[in-house]
Amino acid sequence: MKIKKIQAEEFRRDFISREWILVSSNRQKRPIFFNIKEKKKTGRVFSKKECPFENPQKSGNADPVFWMPKPGIDKGRAVFEKDWFTQIVPNKFPLLRRNNHKPKIKKHGIYEIVDSFGFHEIVITRDHDKMFEDMAINELSLVFKTYKERYRILEKDKSIDYILIFHNQGELAGASIPHPHSQIIALPIVPPDVSRSINGGVNFYEKYKKCAHCTMLDYEKKEKIRIINKNKYFISVAPYASKVPFEVRVYPVRHNSDFEEISDHEIPYLAEIFKDILIRMRKSLGSKDYNFFIHTSSARVDSVPYYHWHIEILPRTYKWGGVELGTGIEVISVPPELVAYQLRKVKKQNK
């Protein structure tokens, strides 16, 4: 076996934990447009004109699989080239590859593998310099509506078990291009973190006959210590057992296991609370780097009483060390109660 020539595109299952990981050699090919080394060496950074998302099709990206026009423009009358606000294109350097059938588990000695399979797409917003927290509510609402409509299309594929929508903002968050963009990954498996969360919800429901997330939200509303903001349809909380400092989660107030079931009437309320949280984080932390992702139920099950979809927002102000990597126990330096207090205080200071 020639080790240097090995190119793997596959899911591999850990022999002991039985959890899946993804090997994707294709990830090495993606360009890095932050290029801090280049800046230190020559003083030069990539300009907006060189950005592959500034004019996606002229930069070699495929035609969009889905797009939405700017706020106030009817899609039936819109002209794509001048009117698009969001567009979704296949990732040029995908972690997953679309095949004609769902691959089966295969054996490799004592190990189990599944060929790389699924969808990997990029959700691009038009303005190069406008981060999500800088958008108007109707613009951010269009982003969430884009997520929702594409999710509904992808879940029709019976070979897909889970769809993850996520956003990496900034170099510290793993973004390779400064232009705001999100990603959608449709998987033939339910990923480990989601699977653990769903199983925890199932176990709680079987014991108490109610949703664990709803129970948690009811308790948080009574304590009022870790709640940051809320409106008619959504509430944000600094989780009692946060994964990273200043983590915030946004939940729908009413029980709903499926993100794609959010109504068009509710979307502006989600945009409102989401934008507010990002602005507070930026002012409090002085950092624009964060990840967020939408955790929802499996694409293969109907609405369930034991899971509650939500968005997790994780600022990148930390680095994992030996304790976190060796034990899987996250160590946070700021208690969630203080996080909620500080973020609420930001709002009071800026009235």
User: 95 with 114, same domain?
Assistant: yes
What's the gap between Cα 189 and its chain centre?
Answer: 17
Percent of the chain with pLDDT over 90: 63
For residue 229, being part of any structural domain is answered with yes
| The two three-digit tokens of residue 249, written as one number | 């989660």
For residue 2, being part of any structural domain is answered with no
User: 175 with 215, same domain?
Assistant: no
Q: Report whether pLDDT(3) > 50.
A: no
Please give the residue range of the domain that contains residue 122.
8-191
Q: What total number of domains does the chain contain?
A: 2
User: 164 with 106, same domain?
Assistant: yes
Domain endpoint, select from 168, 191, 214: 191
Question: The CATH number of the domain where 270 resides is what?
Answer: 3.30.428.10
Residue-wise pLDDT for 54-102, tens only, equals 999 999 999 999 999 999 999 999 999 999 999 999 998 888 877 767 7
Domain endpoint, select from 174, 191, 208: 191
In the three-class reduction of DSSP (H, G, I as helix; E, B as strand; rest coil), residue 223 is classed as helix
| The two three-digit tokens of residue 212, written as one number | 């664990």
| The two three-digit tokens of residue 142, written as one number | 């269009």
DSSP 168: E
Least confident among 26-30, 189-193, 294-298 = 26-30
| The two three-digit tokens of residue 156, written as one number | 């029709």
pTM, two decimals, is 0.89
Residue-wise pLDDT for 130-170, tens only, equals 999 999 999 999 999 999 999 999 999 988 999 999 999 98
For residue 305, being part of any structural domain is answered with yes
Residue 142, amino acid: L
- Check residues 264 and 321 and name the one with the higher pLDDT: 264
For residue 167, how many other CB atoms are within 10 A of its CB? Answer: 21
For residue 42, being part of any structural domain is answered with yes
User: 107 with 223, same domain?
Assistant: no
Task: For strands 248-252 and 310-315, give the pairing.
Answer: antiparallel
- Check residues 313 and 333 and name the one with the higher pLDDT: 313
Strand partners, 121: 90, 184
Residue-wise pLDDT for 5-57, tens only, equals 445 678 888 887 888 878 876 665 666 565 555 554 544 456 777 899 999 99
Task: Identify how many contiguous H helices and E strands the chain contains and give both numbers.
Answer: 8, 14
In the three-class reduction of DSSP (H, G, I as helix; E, B as strand; rest coil), residue 33 is classed as coil
Q: Are the C-beta atoms of 52 and 181 separated by less than 8 Å?
A: no
Q: Are the C-beta atoms of 267 and 231 separated by less than 8 Å?
A: no
User: 181 with 209, same domain?
Assistant: no
For residue 1, being part of any structural domain is answered with no
Give, for 125, the enclosing helix (H) or strand (E).
Answer: strand 119-125
